[in-house]
Amino acid sequence: MGLPQPRLDDEFPSITAVLAENERLKRELAVSRARVGELEARADIDPLLDILNRRGFERELKRALSHVKRYGTQAALMFVDLDGFKGINDRYGHAAGDVLLKAVARELIGHVRASDVVGRIGGDEFGVIVWRVEEPQAVAKARELETVIARVGITHGRSQISVAASIGVAPLVEGSNPADLIAAADQAMYARKDERRGLPAAVSWGE
């Protein structure tokens, strides 16, 4: 009699088990990658307003600048500052201030195009990237948004709370970087504040 031949059934269970384990590990890896991607995306979102935070907004601004450089598209950055918002927090509390911020964010999103980008870049400051506009059109849109925000109001107890906004505009220029653009739009915003107060606009002195 010859030697007994190994039975396939004795070999295949171990191979099958290895393959099953590999598939399980692949599924776990896919789930882990999806979770990491979700966490990375959430890291760019403001937890209160559910819009881009400063990090996420600056990332989008960098992408916008690359698009402008590559395709010659016209776009502009708006810097939105809520006038006297600290006084609202001091008088009515931060909870009321948060409700007002949410209302302002909703109005900003509702009055720009889906392709435009809205983010929170400071405590009471928003940024808006508007596409396919020349600077005069962007300024006109900024004035429209100031009017929209002025109509925002919330009820707090027996009080009606509203807020005004000053919006500065800076065109996206090839060769600029996000920090320079935000600084330029911020300066334009302060000039707008002075204009609204009836004061001479601030002047930047060069060499």
Residue given tokens 């009055």 in the structure block:
111
Just list the catalytic residues: 124
Contact 99, 154 (CB under 8 A): yes
Residue 129 DSSP symbol = E
Residue given tokens 């925000």 in the structure block:
149
CB atoms under 10 Å from CB of 174, counted, come to 10
> Among 202, 124, 130, which Cα is nearest to 166's?
124
CB atoms under 10 Å from CB of 56, counted, come to 20
Rounded Cα–Cα distance for residues 170 and 177 (Å): 12
Contact 70, 62 (CB under 8 A): no
> Among 160, 77, 70, 164, which Cα is nearest to 116's?
77
Alpha helix stretches (DSSP H) within 93-168 = 94-110, 135-150
